[in-house]
């Protein structure tokens, strides 16, 4: 019985195929006669055998008319999207302000809570079990008047604003928590609660601004030598000896020797920033000139000759930072440089309306750290940050 049913099923299929072939032969012979009288069933059979026939008879869908060409949609990173204006590229996501004291706003009028806790002595006592309770130490000095704060208020960033610059920062602080990096040779050591600055970046970041490099080359040590040289020169003047200059100091030689390495490390840092923030415009901000171009008197314990030399060294460092940006790919890779060396023209240290703090001496709020010279010395004040913010805003509007 089972064999017979299979045979019957096979026979039925063969009979059907035979009928189709027979129909096909007849239609082929007298197609021109029968064509007007072919039924839909016959036409379908013909199509099944020969593959020929109308789309309707073969059961094929009639193709729709091709649509007009679709324009290419923007692809790739935001910083390279030519369908957007430079400002739109920068504000499409989140703005993140990173960097050192020249970005944090060291020397400004007001610091964010938790970033002005100068408890170094108490921290030492706490670490040695001599102080009851935990002691918080953080001197990142993120000022409410810092240029990045002003930029964030000038534009509307769809992803908001994150401020992670920290006074005393070096390039290592982009990779390691701040309190792991700093030691006695670096300013503002032991800043607690400061994660690696690169951790603040992701694919939603559309703008990054920062300054870095001054601490890496040891510029603070050079300024200290310049102040010391002036004090020594005072006594030299009494004895008739020629004035002492900081230009030949070991600190000056060390700083000059560190510039090439700092340049190379900044190029690598920019590439690492790109990996973390693939869509962002990345703006490196240089350092402003400290003193008038042609100083005529000692200002903030810096002699005129050393003032001119310091200005030159600021320019050398800015040139190195600019070259690092170019080495990383420049504007085509989303990296830009803002050069503020002339931003304080007419309001340098020693002028009537200075945009930059001179030497600030006295314990005051620095009593706990035991440092008689304020970290805010030789840093932009609120007006200085306003001028830098204007340059950054112009770059945002008109840059790559």
Interval 97-144: pLDDT, tens: 999 999 999 999 899 999 988 755 555 555 555 556 666 678 899 999
Shared domain for 159 and 28, answered yes or no, is: no
Helices (H), 240-364: 250-276, 304-327
Residue-wise pLDDT for 312-358, tens only, equals 999 999 999 999 999 999 999 999 999 999 999 999 999 999 999 99
DSSP track, 36-75: GG--HHHHHHHHHHHS-S-TTTTTPPPPPPPPPPPPPPP-
Cα 154 versus chain centre, distance: 18
Q: What count of other Cβ atoms lies within 10 Å of the Cβ of residue 55?
A: 11
Shared domain for 182 and 41, answered yes or no, is: no
* pTM for the whole structure: 0.77
Shared domain for 237 and 178, answered yes or no, is: yes
Question: What is the extent of the structural domain holding 42?
Answer: 9-50
**3-state class (DSSP) for residue 144:** coil
152, pLDDT greater than 50: yes
Shared domain for 175 and 239, answered yes or no, is: yes
Shared domain for 336 and 212, answered yes or no, is: yes
**Any residues with CB less than 8 A from the CB of 241 and at least 6 apart, and which?**
none
Query: Is 3 among the domain residues?
Result: no
309, pLDDT greater than 80: yes
Q: Which residues pair with 29 in a beta bridge?
A: none
Query: Is 347 among the domain residues?
Result: yes
Query: Is 67 among the domain residues?
Result: no
88: left (phi over 0), alpha (psi -120 to 50) or beta: alpha
Helix axes 219-239, 250-276, angle to 10 degrees: 160
Query: Is 290 among the domain residues?
Result: yes
Shared domain for 45 and 165, answered yes or no, is: no
Residue-wise pLDDT for 44-64, tens only, equals 444 544 555 544 445 544 444
Q: Across residues 165-170, what is the average pLDDT?
A: 94
Query: Is 140 among the domain residues?
Result: yes
Going by pLDDT thresholds of 50, 70 and 90, the confidence category of residue 182 is: low
Q: Which residues pair with 117 in a beta bridge?
A: 138
Shared domain for 22 and 144, answered yes or no, is: no
Query: Is 377 among the domain residues?
Result: yes
Residue-wise pLDDT for 1-35, tens only, equals 444 444 343 444 434 334 333 433 433 443 433 34
Query: Is 282 among the domain residues?
Result: yes
Shared domain for 16 and 91, answered yes or no, is: no
Token output for 369: 């750290």
What pLDDT is attached to residue 367? 43
Query: Is 295 among the domain residues?
Result: yes
Residue with token string 């593959």: 51
CATH number for the domain that contains residue 188:
3.40.50.1110
Shared domain for 252 and 381, answered yes or no, is: yes
Shared domain for 280 and 346, answered yes or no, is: yes
What pLDDT is attached to residue 47? 52
Shared domain for 17 and 151, answered yes or no, is: no
What is the domain count for the chain? 2
Shared domain for 95 and 161, answered yes or no, is: yes
Mean pLDDT, the chain, whole residue set: 81
Top pLDDT among 232 and 81 is at 81
């Amino acid at each position: 019985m089972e064999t017979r049913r299979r045979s019957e099923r096979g026979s039925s299929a063969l009979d059907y195929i035979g009928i189709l072939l027979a129909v096909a032969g007849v239609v082929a012979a007298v197609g021109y006669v029968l064509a007007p009288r072919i039924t839909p069933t016959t036409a379908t059979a013909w199509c099944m055998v020969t593959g020929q026939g109308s789309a309707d008879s073969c059961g094929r869908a009639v193709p729709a008319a091709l649509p007009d060409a679709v324009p290419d949609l923007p692809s790739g990173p935001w910083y390279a999207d030519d369908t957007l204006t430079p400002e739109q590229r920068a504000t499409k996501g989140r703005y993140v302000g990173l960097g050192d004291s020249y970005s944090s706003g060291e020397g400004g009028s007001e610091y964010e809570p938790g970033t002005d806790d100068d408890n170094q002595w108490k921290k030492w006592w706490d670490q040695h079990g001599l102080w009851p309770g935990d002691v918080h130490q953080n001197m990142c000095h993120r000022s409410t008047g810092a240029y990045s704060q002003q930029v964030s208020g000038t534009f509307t960033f769809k992803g908001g604003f994150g401020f992670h610059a920290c006074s005393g920062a070096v390039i290592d602080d982009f990779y390691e928590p701040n309190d792991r990096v700093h030691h006695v040779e670096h300013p503002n050591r032991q800043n607690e609660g400061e994660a690696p600055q690169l951790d603040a970046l992701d694919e939603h970041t559309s703008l990054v601004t920062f300054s870095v490099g001054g601490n890496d080359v040891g510029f603070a040590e050079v300024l200290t030598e310049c102040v010391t040289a002036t004090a020594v020169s005072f006594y030299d003047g009494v004895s008739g000896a020629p004035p002492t200059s900081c230009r030949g100091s070991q600190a000056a030689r060390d700083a000059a020797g560190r510039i090439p390495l700092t340049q190379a490390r900044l190029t690598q840092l920019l590439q690492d920033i790109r990996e973390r923030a693939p869509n962002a415009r990345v703006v490196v901000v240089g350092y402003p000139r400290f003193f008038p171009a042609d100083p005529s008197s000692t200002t903030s314990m810096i002699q005129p000759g050393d003032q001119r030399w310091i200005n030159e060294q600021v320019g050398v460092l800015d040139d190195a930072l600019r070259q690092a940006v170019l080495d990383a790919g420049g504007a085509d890779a989303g990296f830009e440089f803002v050069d503020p060396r002339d931003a304080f023209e007419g309001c340098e240290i020693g002028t009537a309306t200075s945009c930059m703090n001179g030497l600030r001496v006295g314990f005051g709020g620095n009593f706990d750290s035991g440092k008689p010279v304020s970290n805010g010395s030789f840093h932009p004040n609120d007006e200085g940050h306003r001028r830098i913010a204007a340059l950054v805003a112009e770059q945002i509007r008109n840059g790559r």
